[in-house]
Amino acid sequence: MALGVSPDAEDAEDHIAPLALLLERTTGDGIRSGRPIDWLWWGERNGVPFHSDWWMAITPQGPIGFDGQHFALLRDEMLSDAFLQHERRLITKWARKPYWTPREAIDLSLNFGPFTTDSWRGQEPEFGDTIRERDDRFRTSERAVEAGDISEKAAPKDYVLWLDKCGYIVSEAWRRAVGLESKVFGHMEQAQLATLLEENAQLRQNLENLATKTDAQDDVQRQLATLGDENENLRRQLVEQEKTIRGFEEQALQSGIESNSSEDIKELKKRIRLLHGERANYNEVGALTRRVEFLEIILLAAAVDGHSYDPRAGKSPIPKEIADKATALGNPIAQSTVRKYLQESSTKHIEPGVWEVIFPKK
């Protein structure tokens, strides 16, 4: 609203985009809600000044010192370095006094040294609006003392609360100096606190989910390494068997040439059948084949789920990651071997159209 844009406007986000860092810092400090007048001060202090009409709308009681209309008209003066430096000097001298008198409180509220014309302006004697405002506030304090709202000798903290109750602006620096809570933080609503707690709980849940996902990924890596080893061993055994079978077949042919012994030929053929798996128990042969196929499918599924492996990718880093994990587990496997088996499994067991469904092209 300080920018003159309705929060409900469609382009509101575009208008506040340049202030993203300021808003992030503010919400990081826990400032989520506060009275309108608190936000007016916040805007002035952070270089996002509200229009003068906002001050008059939010402080309809009229010109009382340097809030409302007066502050709106003299904002440059009120936010000047001279004003702030003089305010710090007064705080250093007066914030720890055991008590203030009404006149001291009134002068300090206008950033004057009590009973002096020593002000941030460096002007003397006082004149015009400043004199009238000083007298008006003092008459108000006299009536407050008579009514018992404040005593003639009250603690600085009590006077700051009384000034705030009367509608006179009291800076956050004075409030902190006399031991009062910041009004911006003090007016945070319970709903905002509940929101912060909910955000905190969500962040914790996200961290737990991430840790669980990491553990699950480590399990997949271990399973992939184990399956890779088993697959490699099975293929090695098949290669050895094929070599042995070819040797016996060559031996059988040679024996047929050199000898007409039907018994020798029968024996060789029997041994060849045994090596080919032609045993009496055919279920055992089928179980071994199914085991190899299932291991190939499991290896491929684990690579797709845990690493988003896509066999269509020209240069996939996944085979290297799996090979590196196997090496870390003490069972080195060549990257090319992993790539080869993954490619063979994807071609053998998966229809081509499935990959388009899992990894659609953008």
pLDDT in tens, 71-101: 776 777 777 788 888 889 999 999 999 999 9
End-to-end CA distance of the chain: 41
pLDDT in tens, 113-141: 887 766 655 554 455 667 777 888 889 99
Asked whether the predicted pLDDT for residue 307 surpasses 60, the reply is: yes
Instruction: State which amino acid sits at residue 357.
Output: V
Residues of the chain above pLDDT 90, percent: 11
102 touches 43 (CB < 8 A)? no
Model's pTM, two decimal places?
A: 0.42
Give the CA-trace dihedral at 106, 109, 115, 120, to 10 degrees.
Answer: -160
Which residues share a beta bridge with 100?
154
On the 0-12 / 13-18 / 19+ scale of CB atoms within 10 A, 47 is exposed
Average pLDDT, the chain: 78
